[in-house]
Structure 1
Amino acid sequence: MEERKKDHISLALQAQLPTSHNDSRFYYEPMLAAHPVGMSSPTQLLGKELAIPFWVSSMTGGTSAARTINQNLARVCGEFGMGMGLGSCRILLDSPKHYNDFDVRDLLGSHLPFYANIGICQLEDLLDGNEVDRLTEIVKRLRTDGLIVHVNPLQEWFQAEGDRIKRPPIETITQLLEVVDYPIIVKEVGQGMGYQSLSALLKLPIAAVELAAFGGTNFSKMEMLRANTPEAEAFSGLAAVGHSAIEMVEMVNDIVLNEPIRCNQLIISGGVENFLDGYYLLSKSSLPAVVGMASAFLKYAQDYELLKRFVVAQVKGFRMAQSFLRVKE
């Protein structure tokens, strides 16, 4: 105890925080709970139970590092009871030799939600060619619960080798729903989406909408940096448009109040840096939701022990937030 008190004296000045650093989203209520016991905070998503309301958002596929990353992410999901979305499985349409990079169901376990992923442009082509059975084969072979469709018009526009979307994505997704019998999640890739797009999606019988809001990894800016051309620079203003996670949550809440919907689950992602962001956004959502993170997990995904330590810290922090913080209205 004496050593601890000496530490307090020597660190007192360093530990001072100005009032400008106060996180004003919360009321801190130290009188109303004890320290949380255990790591579990069960929630339902996509017909399965998660031990904690965290989702590993789609990140990578088709690279030499994908296997290690996917295996470590699936393993940590299995250990802590989280759901997982794979990165783009497009490469599996070209060659089956990469299946082992994505085949991680056994590490995750059958009791947790696990989804494959394809882009809207590839989905358009498969529907036009009456080849959706190729997607269904991927879903079956990887033993996923369903499919994520990522909608990325700005990313494709910036990408030097990008594809072009030929019709409104809502029409393509509606067509997909008519020909498959497994759950579909729809997401953006880092710009989020506005009121009308959210309204149109929530009226479809899809399993969930993932927000993928502005504020996280911006794939439009990434492709602009990759291209490094005068054309990309001219279009750069488009990379700065979009909607934050809290803005999208509030739009969804408004839609739920005023319009009939058929989809009633959210994955809140995009700009979620830590458990405090997640706790705040989940508390604000009127729809059942989990919080998704991508780059935060990816930072540690090639070293399992570091990844595990990161997840433990996030889960413990989330449980403390549940106990002692109340979100301001």
Structure 2
Amino acid sequence: MEDRKKDHIDLAFSSRLNGDMVDNRFDYEPMLGIHGKKDLSFEFADKIMQLPIWVSSMTGGTKRAGTINKNLAQACGEFGLGMGLGSCRILLDSPEYFDDFNVRPIMGDDVPLFANIGICQLEQMLQNRSEGELDELVDKLQADGLAIHINPMQEAFQPEGDVLKTPPIELLKKYLEKTDLKIIVKEVGQGFGKESLRQLLALPLEAIEFGALGGTNFSLVELNRSEAVAAEVYNPFIHIGHTADNMTHTINQLVDKMGYKIKVNNVIISGGISSLLDGYYLTEISKMPAIFGMGSAFLRHSMGSYDKLQSYVEKLANGLQLANNFLRVKL
């Protein structure tokens, strides 16, 4: 106790906050909660997640990526999180990378896992009538479904990018007629506008994942790989898009207007979710069943030993309990 009191004295002046630093999204209610655990479980794709947190799609095809995926899978299994794999396109051509993506034996069967393919690859497979390979891919990975990432801007900026010939909404409708897989549709860093969301909400999807502006932007990733003139000309496009906050409010407006016409089960609020309170706030105000996804934060903590990632997720879990017990969202 003496050491703790000494710390209080030493740190008192460096721990001052200005009144203008208050997070005005919440009322803090210290009289109304306890230091106890609430049930934060969430049903997703017929599985039960213990925390409403989605590990957004990462990567594969390199030794480093394999380590990252295995660490993330172990955390998902231990703490009950859902996980989306990075693009599995490489597995369609190079099955020797399968071990990088084979995380189901690590995470166990209790939590949801989704494979991932790009909309351009789906277009090519529909043209070739080879979309059945996606069912085989999902089955081989023991996944619960398939995430389809929508990335026309990224493909346009990627030096070796594919050319999209059909609007993604038409491709999705065609594919949904041919498959029984549970489907997530996600963006990759710029989010979806109101009309895109309206049309997506009318499709029988397991979830829409925002991939909103403010997080890792894969269009910018590709632009940074491009030659200097392309980077100069196309750079303004990087600032076009929709934030997670904006998209959540847009979804809420569409819920009020569309009602029973909505066929999507859930939303995954991702893109620019830099703290658990960002995710907590947006999932609380969402009028649709919602979980939140974090990509770069998990990536940062998953590159080394598992202990570092384990400690991070444990603190996320404790923080969510604190938020649920002592915070009330201002509506």
Residues 153-202 of structure 1 show CA distances to partners (whole Å, capped at 9, x for unaligned) of 11111111111111110001111111111111000001011100001001
Post-superposition shift, 1:16?
A: 0.3
How far does residue 64 in structure 1 lie from its aligned partner after superposition? 2.6
Q: CA deviation at 1:127?
A: 0.4
Structure 2 counterpart of 1:70: 69
CA deviation vs aligned residue, 1:109-135 (integer Å, no higher than 9, x gap): 112110000000000000000001111
Amino acid at match of 2:269: I
Distance 2:182 2:43 in 1: 15
- Aligned to 2:15, what secondary structure does the other structure show? coil
- Aligned ranges 1:166-245 → 2 under 5 Å: 166-245=165-244
SS in 1 for 2:188: coil
**Alpha-carbon separation, structure 2, partners of 1:228 and 1:273:** 30
Partner residue in 1 for 2:20: 20
- CA shift, 1:250, in A, is 0.7
Matched, 1:94 2:93: yes
Counterpart Cα distance in 2 of 1:62 and 1:123: 20
Shift of 1:45: 1.5
Query: Can you list the C-alpha shifts for 1:229-264, whole angstroms capped at 9, x where unaligned?
Result: 202220110011111111101111111110121113
Name the SS for the 1:299 alignment partner.
Answer: helix
- 2: distance between equivalents of 1:226 and 1:269? 24
Secondary structure of residue in 1 paired with 2:273: coil
Paired with 1:2 and 1:86, the residues of 2 have a C-alpha distance of 49
Report the AA paired with residue 9 of structure 2. I
Q: Deviations over 1:25-58 (max 9, x none)?
A: 11100000111237x5211112211111111010
Give, in angstroms, the shift of residue 217 of structure 1: 0.3
Q: Which moved more, 1:29-38 or 1:207-216?
A: 29-38
Preserved CA contact (<8 Å) 1:191 1:243: yes
Give the counterpart letter for 2:10 in structure 1: S
CA contact (8 A) 1:45 1:290 kept: no
Find the residue that maps to 1:246 and give its secondary structure.
helix
Q: Distance in 2 between matches of 1:69 and 1:314?
A: 19
Q: Tell me, which stretches of 5 or more residues in structure 2 are unaligned?
A: none
Instruction: Return the offset for 1:296.
Output: 0.5
Structure 1 residue 106, shift from structure 2 partner: 1.3
Superposition RMSD in Å: 1.1
- The answer for the alignment partner of 2:328 in structure 1 is 326
Give secondary structure in 2 for the equivalent of 1:69: helix
Paired position in structure 1 for 2:265:
264
* Partner SS, residue 235 of structure 1: helix
Q: Which residue of 1 aligns with 2:250?
A: 251
For structure 1, the 5+ residue unaligned runs are: none
**Which residue matches 1:145?**
144
Q: Distance in 1 between matches of 2:182 and 2:175?
A: 11
Report the Cα distance in structure 1 between the residues aligned to 2:153 and 2:228, rounded to whole angstroms: 16
Residue pair 1:92, 1:99 contacting (<8 A) in 2 also: yes
In structure 1, the residue corresponding to 2:63 is in which secondary structure? coil
Q: Which residue of 2 aligns with 1:10?
A: 10
The one-letter code matched in structure 1 to 2:278 is D
Which residue of structure 2 aligns with residue 29 of structure 1?
29
Aligned pairs for 1:109-188 within 5 A: 109-188=108-187
How many angstroms apart in 1 are the aligned matches of 2:181 and 2:10?
Answer: 60
Query: Counterparts of 1:89 and 1:293 in 2: how far apart (Å)?
Result: 19
**Residue number among 316, 319, 328 corresponding to 1:314 in the alignment:** 316
1:287-302 correspondence runs (5 A): 287-302=288-303
How far apart, CA to CA, are the structure 2 residues paired with 1:47 and 1:197? 26
Return the TM-score normalized by structure 2: 0.97
Deviates more, 1:220-229 or 1:163-172: 220-229
Q: How big is the shift at 1:20?
A: 2.1
CA distance, structure 1, for counterparts of residue 306 and residue 151 of structure 2? 30
Residue pair 2:271, 2:294 contacting (<8 A) in 1 also: yes
1:51 paired residue number: 50
Tell me which residue corresponds to 1:283.
284
Distance 1:68 1:231 in 2: 34
CA distance in 2, matches of 1:5, 1:183: 55
Query: Secondary structure in 1 aligned to 2:301?
Result: coil
CA distance in 1, matches of 2:173, 2:42: 28
Cα distance in 2, alignment partners of residues 59 and 154 from structure 1: 19
CA distance in 2, matches of 1:13, 1:281: 33
Are the aligned partners of 1:72 and 1:304 in contact in 2 as well (CA < 8 Å)? Answer: yes
| Distance across 2 between alignment mates of 1:9 and 1:69 | 41
- Judge conservation of contact 1:42–1:52 (CA < 8 Å) in 2: yes
Give aligned pairs, total. Answer: 328
Is the CA contact 2:58–2:69 (under 8 Å) kept in the aligned structure 1? no
Shift of 1:6: 2.2
Identity of counterpart residues, as a percentage? 50
Task: Give the TM-score normalised by structure 1.
Answer: 0.97
